Structure 1
Amino acid sequence: MKKGILITIIAVIGLVIAACGSDTTKDEVKGSAKQSIKVTSAGEIATLDSALYSDTFSSDAIGQISEGLYRVNPDNDAELGLAKADPTVSADKKVYTFQLRDDAKWSNGEPVTAADFVFAFQKVVDPKTASPSSNQLDVIKNANQIRNEKAEPNTLGVKAIDDKTLEITLENPIPYLPKLLTGTPFLPQNEKFVKEVGSKYGTSADTVLSNGPFLLKDWSGIGTSWNYVKNKDYWDAENVRLNKVAVQVAKDTGAGVNLYETGDVQYTALTDEFVQKYKDNKAYHSQSKSLIGYLGFNEDRKATGNVHLRKALSMAFDKDAYTQTILGDGSKALNGYIPSDFAKDPENNKDFRAENGDLVTFDPEKAKSEWTTAKKELGIDKLTLEVLSSDTEVSKKTVEFLQSELEKNLPGLTVKIKSVPLKNRLALTTAGDYDIFYGTWSPDYSDPINFLEVYQSDGGINFSKYNSSTYDSGLNEVKSTLATDPEKRWDKMLELEKQLISQDAVIAPFYQGATAYLLNPEVQDVQIYPFGRNISFRLAYVK
């Protein structure tokens, strides 16, 4: 996502052991060319440009082939990536100096340099790029001024001291910098190569360079299949066991289940009725995620610009019924924006969601009351709205459920459905060509600010076009004057969530996701992330 970013509920991933003939022993397979798996993805790659992505499928692909200063370890903590040691930090905790690994290379053989990070970071904040993730770099000195055209990109607080020394100057001290730097917008790009391919950068396998565990092959930019091949020049290649990961887009959960049933698939994600069928199977697993599902409202349109209508819509569907009948994978109803088990109060260690309580619940009577007020203010008796979603199996079932609930609980409302490929859905929401959209969001790192900053008025993925000077001011406090006062910073974030959900009903969050899957012991150490990207194959291998 991330950044932070809008996605479908669950990436459906099927792993298939490839070419293991009956005359091949497990010891021969281990460490040989037979270390090959096949996977399915629930969606296509939209772009391989780390400055332009806005969906998890693209971020997943970029994460397989690229690495930044930090990467995510099996415990979901930040660990050193291209940085070879912990940075030196100035006394005021604003200036970080990193030394890059001497053996970090691009796939064209050129070394990864500090200038590659400078170029990439400046590209993200440059208004000409129109990066959906630009606001994530606001922690860096002058980033906010640059992206708001009040300063030039070359004034960004990132400097190449020499080829292997990178200096990052922050606006204010922040407690989560290593986590932040694992995110996709903070990946380097080779300036010479990017300028050579121009606007085509990241649009195909041939127009991107890799510095991570894998190279991407056989993707034309519009294809529904591609391959990851081990990058032998990756600095940590000795710990990458797989030689190939073949990916095929498959939007139907049943297809993956059928492959598992026939013994062709060793890992497949599950949804709805498949969870009920396999929940007692020893191969069944369910992992909670920080992903949230929600409805976004277009505040630039007359109807959905009415706060009472937004509140009515937010309270008019049964979240528990949805998670139990449509998903059934361990996902749970969510009555706020920040999910549970994500962040804890620095003073009393209490969970953010528990501390801020239920901000929007299923309440058909209150929904009808708000609906009545909205109709009066809009001067209407009836209303037709369109709900936009991607065309995956789960997304279609989700909007059909919402259509039924909203029309039942808000008499006079007609809901139409528009389901399109994810790339088109993202384009339509970015252009503001929708009434309501159903999407998902997964944070890049475990701090509530990563959720809250999405709705900054000039945020790149603020598709609702929410604009509140009070909210913006509060966000700036969290990022600046309160950065060194953890408890006051925490209280301000609690306040901002209440404004966003209870007061202004900017979005309607309704569930916190989970990943349910069947896993065969033959495939080991696939990393399934609780936030940020969905999956990593860096440490995976065939047993």
Structure 2
Amino acid sequence: KSSSDYTTYPYSITAFLVYNFQDSNATIKKALNNAKIRQAISLSINRKTLVKNVIGDASTVSKTFVPQDLVKDAKTDKDFADESTVKNSTSYNKALAQKLWKQGLKETGIKKLSIQLLASNDEPNKPISQYLKSALEKNLDGLTVNLSNIPSKVASSRAQSGDFDLYLSGWGADFNDPISHLQIMTNNSGYNYGKYNSSTYNALVNKAQNQDANDTSARWQDMINAEKTIMKDQGITPLYQTVYSYLQNPKVKGIIHNTAGTQWNYKYAYIAK
């Protein structure tokens, strides 16, 4: 980091926790379908600590499902993530987390909860899952988090078949538009492994893709409202956004970096004399 050649490049990958709304265990299913319990889990995670002390690279904390610096409002020039942030959805608030947790347990009639967190054993997923276990068990009385860190192909296969309670996942945008993220959490998406299903969310994403597709202002508002809906629900829990760091020779010119899709384009790259 102290080198003058040190450079960082943000990329539109959001890492997040997936909840299994159709869990095979009736008690866990009841718990994970309770919004207060999901909100308590999110509020128990100190994302700044996670990024700084656990991941330890240039990655940034997530405020929303859609990554920051992906696209700006054509009218206001405000970033989509800034415009759609919901208070107390991805911040660290131990007191509120414990309050919501107790309320959620009372509403479901559950006194203790034991859940499994599925994640690949790739870096940095293993230390991230260890941190999540520590933070959640420390802040939420009666919660036990068992870790299952397995090879990524096996973890992905289990997630796709719904064989998990919580799953540490992520998504990168294919193009610079919020819909690239938002569309994967609709009820008919093959990537919606936890089977999150909100009629409000589904309708908003559908409007953005269909009837409002040619109305820039209405489409933008549909996507803002969809983002706010899934964050209020805590349908998934965003954790951090990937930022890569490199040592880059200052003589190398013309490299094009994209924050979505193909990250690098060397077509016009050259080395200056």
In the alignment, does 2:240 pair up with 1:511? yes
Change (3 A) 1:398 1:524: farther
Percent identical among aligned pairs is 33
User: Residue 525 of structure 1: CA displacement?
Assistant: 6.8
Q: Residue 247 of structure 2 aligns to which amino acid in structure 1?
A: L
User: Residue 541 of structure 1: CA displacement?
Assistant: 8.3
Q: Is the 8 A contact 2:13 2:173 kept in 1?
A: yes
In the alignment, does 2:75 pair up with 1:353? no
Match of 2:167 among 437, 441, 444: 437
The within-5 A match list for 1:109-508 is: 279-301=1-23, 302=29, 303-359=31-87, 360=89, 361-502=91-232, 504-508=233-237
User: Residue 445 of structure 1: CA displacement?
Assistant: 0.5
SS at match of 1:343: coil
Q: Deviations over 1:288-313 (max 9, x none)?
A: 22211111111112132222211111
Q: Deviations over 1:506-529 (max 9, x none)?
A: 111121220012345798877654
1:177 maps to none
SS at match of 1:366: helix
Quote the RMSD (CA, aligned, Å).
2.2
Give the Cα–Cα distance (whole angstroms) in 1 for the partners of residues 237 and 221 of structure 2: 22
User: Residue 372 of structure 1: CA displacement?
Assistant: 0.8
Higher helix share: 2
Q: Residue 245 of structure 2 aligns to which amino acid in structure 1?
A: A
Q: Which blocks of at least 5 consecutive residues in structure 1 are unaligned?
A: 1-278
Change (3 A) 1:524 1:416: farther
SS at match of 1:393: coil
Determine which structure has more spread, i.e. the larger CA radius of gyration.
1
Q: Residue 281 of structure 1 aligns to which amino acid in structure 2?
A: S
Q: Residue 85 of structure 2 aligns to which amino acid in structure 1?
A: G
Higher RCO (Cα < 8 Å, 6 or more apart): 2
User: Residue 355 of structure 1: CA displacement?
Assistant: 1.6
Give the Cα–Cα distance (whole angstroms) in 1 for the partners of residues 165 and 60 of structure 2: 26
SS at match of 2:51: helix
Q: Deviations over 1:174-218 (max 9, x none)?
A: xxxxxxxxxxxxxxxxxxxxxxxxxxxxxxxxxxxxxxxxxxxxx
Give the Cα–Cα distance (whole angstroms) in 2 for the partners of residues 314 and 540 of structure 1: 43
Q: Deviations over 1:205-257 (max 9, x none)?
A: xxxxxxxxxxxxxxxxxxxxxxxxxxxxxxxxxxxxxxxxxxxxxxxxxxxxx
Q: Residue 394 of structure 1 aligns to which amino acid in structure 2?
A: P
Q: Is the 8 A contact 1:299 1:306 kept in 2?
A: no
TM-score, reference length from structure 1: 0.46
Give the Cα–Cα distance (whole angstroms) in 2 for the partners of residues 426 and 282 of structure 1: 39
Give the Cα–Cα distance (whole angstroms) in 2 for the partners of residues 335 and 437 of structure 1: 19
User: Residue 535 of structure 1: CA displacement?
Assistant: 5.0
Change (3 A) 1:431 1:537: farther
Count of residues in Structure 1 that have an aligned counterpart in Structure 2: 264
Give the Cα–Cα distance (whole angstroms) in 1 for the partners of residues 169 and 95 of structure 2: 26
User: Residue 409 of structure 1: CA displacement?
Assistant: 0.7
SS at match of 2:10: strand
Q: Is the 8 A contact 2:85 2:228 kept in 1?
A: no
SS at match of 1:484: coil
Q: Residue 311 of structure 1 aligns to which amino acid in structure 2?
A: Q
2:26 maps to none
Give the Cα–Cα distance (whole angstroms) in 1 for the partners of residues 78 and 208 of structure 2: 19
The within-5 A match list for 1:89-100 is: none
User: Residue 539 of structure 1: CA displacement?
Assistant: 6.9
Give the Cα–Cα distance (whole angstroms) in 2 for the partners of residues 398 and 484 of structure 1: 41
1:154 maps to none
Range 517-526 or range 455-464, more displaced: 517-526
Give the Cα–Cα distance (whole angstroms) in 1 for the partners of residues 130 and 255 of structure 2: 33
Q: Deviations over 1:264-284 (max 9, x none)?
A: xxxxxxxxxxxxxxx001332
Q: Residue 425 of structure 1 aligns to which amino acid in structure 2?
A: A
Q: Residue 290 of structure 1 aligns to which amino acid in structure 2?
A: S
Give the Cα–Cα distance (whole angstroms) in 1 for the partners of residues 122 and 108 of structure 2: 34
Q: Deviations over 1:454-500 (max 9, x none)?
A: 11111010112012222222222111221222111111111111111
Q: Deviations over 1:61-113 (max 9, x none)?
A: xxxxxxxxxxxxxxxxxxxxxxxxxxxxxxxxxxxxxxxxxxxxxxxxxxxxx
